[in-house]
Amino acid sequence: MAKQPTFIGIDLGTSKVAAVVVTMDTNGLLHVLGGGQANSQGGIKQGYINEMDKAVEALKVAKEYAMTQAGVRKVDGVCVSVDSIHFKGENLRDSITISSKDRIISDEDIERVLDQAQSNCKLAKQDSVLHRIPQIYHIQGQREVRNPLNMLGESLEAEIRLILAPSSVLNNIRRVAQLAGFPKAELVYSPLATAEAVLPRQDKDNSAVIIDIGEDLTHVGIFHLGTLFHSAFIPLGGRHFTRDLEITKHLGGMAASERIKHRYGSVIPQQVADEQIELEDEGRFISRSEVAEVLQARAVELFNFVQVEINRTGISDFHGGIHLVGGGSILHHLPILAQTIFGRPRVILSRPLGFDQALSAVVNNPHIVNALGAAKYMIRVRQESGSNAPSFFGNIFDGFK
């Protein structure tokens, strides 16, 4: 029996770099073989490379942990989840006339309308297109067609979303991967990786919001009719919650404030007992409700910013729910507060789907969601480009050392 290909998913975060080794069996179940994390040590800031040597070293350490646990020396593909304050997205649309006599829409017609829609984007010279995402198609007299191939029509209209980033930002991320031993690493936009990990197909189809709360940034992905419709970043993350505690309550430094946030933090003061938290190094106490008041104020601000992004879409019904992910999402009572702010009953603290639980500590680690999603994204793209699962698993491409 042929050896199943293995893939590494990577997430380059401000506070940590995460790597996971993943494979998929012939039944479609994903198996996590190993995982690793390393402190970024300031090498990565708000999604871009801030210090090359530190970023490379962190990735090497995370990679070594993951590959050692997995018992592999080579992998068959590497995918890095990326996003930063320099990324932007734009929705575009255009239409073409079907010129063939039979009016049957071909692959060439689809590519032509996508190219024409993309040409409407006035790219800055330093920007590159990371993704061109077809959202929906319209044929004359028929709206919201997911795949128009081989359908009949006199005209074809396409709506697309472009994800853009400065070439220097993308090239430096690729450079980090190269120096860490992954010369052929591919990149995937973070909201796409997150959705790949946690969103079931029906939630994408029925409109859903992903709120990925990281250390410095919160990434927002809004999915509609099965695809990414809108995305944005908000320059607030877990570090801001911690800093608020330290500035307002003087808990003994950022490290002490971080520990108290994780152990006692809530975003609804009324939900916590008015117990006293001892600040061991200072010989004084603070009530848990006081901590909650500080955290609640920042959480409300964050969710209000997310609401602004939701309003930009013009979509009113999100039957696919609000999905909270990332290390900053694990504050007590955060989903309850989100229900109140967004006025929607379905708010989910999401976890990765489609993975076995043999390494549950890795699969259920909120800091590793995007690395898992990046690996899952790469596996799906390889499957789709290889047409079917048997040929996919029988055709291993060049390995990475």
pLDDT one-digit tens code per residue, 203-212? 999 999 999 9
CATH code of the domain containing 267: 3.30.420.40
Q: What pLDDT, on a 0 to 100 scale, did the predictor assign at position 1?
A: 36
Instruction: Kindly state whether residues 137 and 247 are assigned to the same domain.
Output: no
Residue pair 186/378 in contact (Cβ under 8 Å)? The answer is yes
Q: What is the mean pLDDT of residues 1-13?
A: 84
Q: How far apart are CA 41 and CA 297, in angstroms?
A: 29
Q: Which of 118, 141, 166 is the last residue of a domain?
A: 166
Are 153 and 245 within one domain?
no
In a domain, 375, yes or no: no
Per the prediction, the chain carries an average pLDDT of 91
Q: Which residues of 287-309 are buried (b: 16+ CB within 10 A; e: fewer)?
A: bbbbbbbbbbebbeebbeebeeb
Same domain, 264 and 317: yes
Report which of 362, 298, 295 is spatially closest to residue 37, judged by C-alpha positions.
362
Residue 373 lies in a domain: no
Tens digit of each residue's pLDDT (9 = 90 or more) over 57-114 = 999 999 999 999 999 999 999 999 999 899 999 999 999 999 899 999 999 999 999 9
Q: Are residues 140 and 213 in the same domain?
A: no
Q: Does residue 28 lie within any of the structural domains?
A: no
Percentage, residues of the chain above pLDDT 90? 78
Phi, psi of 227 (to 5 degrees): -145, 170
* Residue 106, domain member (yes or no): yes
Instruction: Using the predicted structure, report yes or no on whether residue 2 has a pLDDT greater than 80.
Output: no
- Domains of the chain: total: 2
Instruction: Give the pLDDT of residue 384.
Output: 85
CA–CA distance, 241 with 262 (Å, rounded to integer): 11
Say whether both 228 and 108 belong to one domain: no
* pLDDT score, position 126: 74
Residues 114 and 235 in one domain: no
Q: What's the CATH code of the domain at 128?
A: 3.30.1490.110
Q: What is the predicted pLDDT for the residue at 122? A: 81
H or E element at residue 201: helix 201-205
Could you tell me if residue 363 is inside a domain? no
* pTM summary value: 0.90
CB 167 within 8 A of CB 260: no
Q: How far apart are CA 91 and CA 160, in angstroms?
A: 6
Its domain, for residue 310, covers 200-349
194 SS3 class: helix
Q: Output the pLDDT for position 160.
A: 96
Q: Show which of 349, 370, 385 is a domain's final residue.
A: 349
Report whether pLDDT(389) > 60.
no
Last residue of a domain, one of 114, 143, 166: 166
**pLDDT of res. 277:** 86
Is 337 found in the same domain as 211? yes
pLDDT band at 135 (very low <50, low <70, confident <90, very high): very high
Model confidence band, residue 395 (pLDDT cutoffs 50, 70, 90):
very low
Cα–Cα–Cα angle for 86, 87, 93, rounded to 5 degrees: 140
- Cα distances (angstroms) measured from residue 392 to each of 2, 183, 379, 383, 400: 11, 22, 9, 6, 17
160 and 212 in a single domain? The answer is no
Q: Is residue 189 part of a domain?
A: no
- Whether residues 146 and 260 share a domain: the answer is no
Q: Is residue 283 part of a domain?
A: yes
Give the least confident one: 225-234, 272-281, 361-370, 390-399.
Answer: 390-399
User: Does 246 map to a domain?
Assistant: yes
The pLDDT value given to residue 99? 86
Percent of the chain with pLDDT over 70: 95
Average pLDDT over residues 16-41: 93
- State mean pLDDT over 190-209: 95
The predicted pLDDT at position 169 comes to 94
CA pair distance 262, 240, nearest whole angstrom:
14
pLDDT tens profile 267-292: 999 998 888 888 876 678 889 999 99
pLDDT at 80: 97
Please provide the DSSP assignment of 225-251 as one string.
TTEEEEEEEES--HHHHHHHHHHHH--
pLDDT of residue 92: 94
- Output the pLDDT for position 21: 97
Tens of pLDDT, residues 303-351 = 999 999 999 999 989 999 999 999 999 999 999 999 999 998 899 999 9
pLDDT of residue 140: 85
Report the distance separating Cα 39 and Cα 62, nearest Å. 9
Res 67: pLDDT: 96
pLDDT of amino acid 15: 86
Going along 15-103, which residue ranges are E strands? Answer: 16-24, 30-39, 44-45, 48-49, 77-82, 88-97
Asked whether residue 365 carries a pLDDT value surpassing 80, the answer given is yes
Give the CA distances from residue 262 to residues 281, 288, 321, in Å, rounded to whole numbers and listed in that order: 18, 12, 25
Q: Is 391 exposed, middle or buried (0-12, 13-18, 19+ CB in 10 A)?
A: exposed
Cβ partners under 8 Å of residue 6, min gap 6: 21, 22, 23, 33, 70, 72, 75, 76
Residues 214 and 341 in one domain: yes
Select the more confidently predicted residue: 33 or 392.
33
My answer on whether 208 and 345 are in the same domain is: yes
Rounded mean pLDDT, 374-394: 71
Q: Are residues 153 and 204 in the same domain?
A: no
- What pLDDT digit, counting tens, does each position of 312-324 carry? 999 989 999 999 9
Q: What is the mean pLDDT of residues 195-219?
A: 95
